[in-house]
Amino acid sequence: MSFEPFDTGLVVKRLEGHVRDLQLVGGAADFAAVKELRSFRTPSAYVVFAEDENTNKVPDSVGVLAQESLVRFGVVLALRNYADQRGEHIGEDARKLIGQVRTALIGHKPCKGARVIGWESGKVLDYDAQTLLFADLYRVQYTMTKDGC
C-alpha cells in the first residue's frame, strides 16, 4: 500500500457504464498507440492523466496517513467530423457525445476519498475531413491515503 496517483481507471469505468454510444473507452496507452488521425475508431474516448498537485495542505506530523491532492485528467474524444472540413464547427452528433461524456463526469464522485469531478476546459486538438479530436480537461480533489482512494 502506498500514496498512489489517482486511478484514471475509475473514470474509464464511469464512461463505459454511462456513455453507451462510445465504441471504445481506453487509457493513455491506447491513445498513444494510435499514430494517425484516420486510425482512431470513432466514436471513442481516452482518459489521460494530466497532473497531480498538492493542495498546499501539507501534513505537519510524523506518520502521515493522508494527504490532499488535486488531480487533473483529460478525456480525449475521437469523433466523426462530417459537418466541417475546416474544423471550424463541431457537428451535431459530436456535440451530443461531448455533452454525454460531460454529463457522466461532472458532479460524479469517483471514490470514497474524493470530492466530485469538475470540468475545467475543452478544445479541438486536431481534425481532418473524417475525424475530430476533442479534449476536455477535468479536475477532482481527493485524499491520498496509504490504503488508496
Q: Has this prediction a pTM greater than 0.85? A: yes
C-alpha cell, 18: 454511462
Domain edges within the chain: 9-145
Fold of 9-145: STM4215-like (3.30.2000)
CB of 39 within 8 A of CB of 17?
no
What is the SS3 assignment for 89-146?
CCCHHHHHHHHHHHHHHCCCCCCCCECCCEEEEEEEEEECCCEEEEEEEEEEEEEEEC
**pLDDT 10s per residue in the chain (149 long)?**
357 888 999 999 999 999 999 999 999 999 999 999 999 999 999 999 999 988 877 665 666 677 788 999 999 999 998 655 555 567 888 999 999 999 999 999 999 889 999 999 999 999 888 899 999 999 999 888 776 66
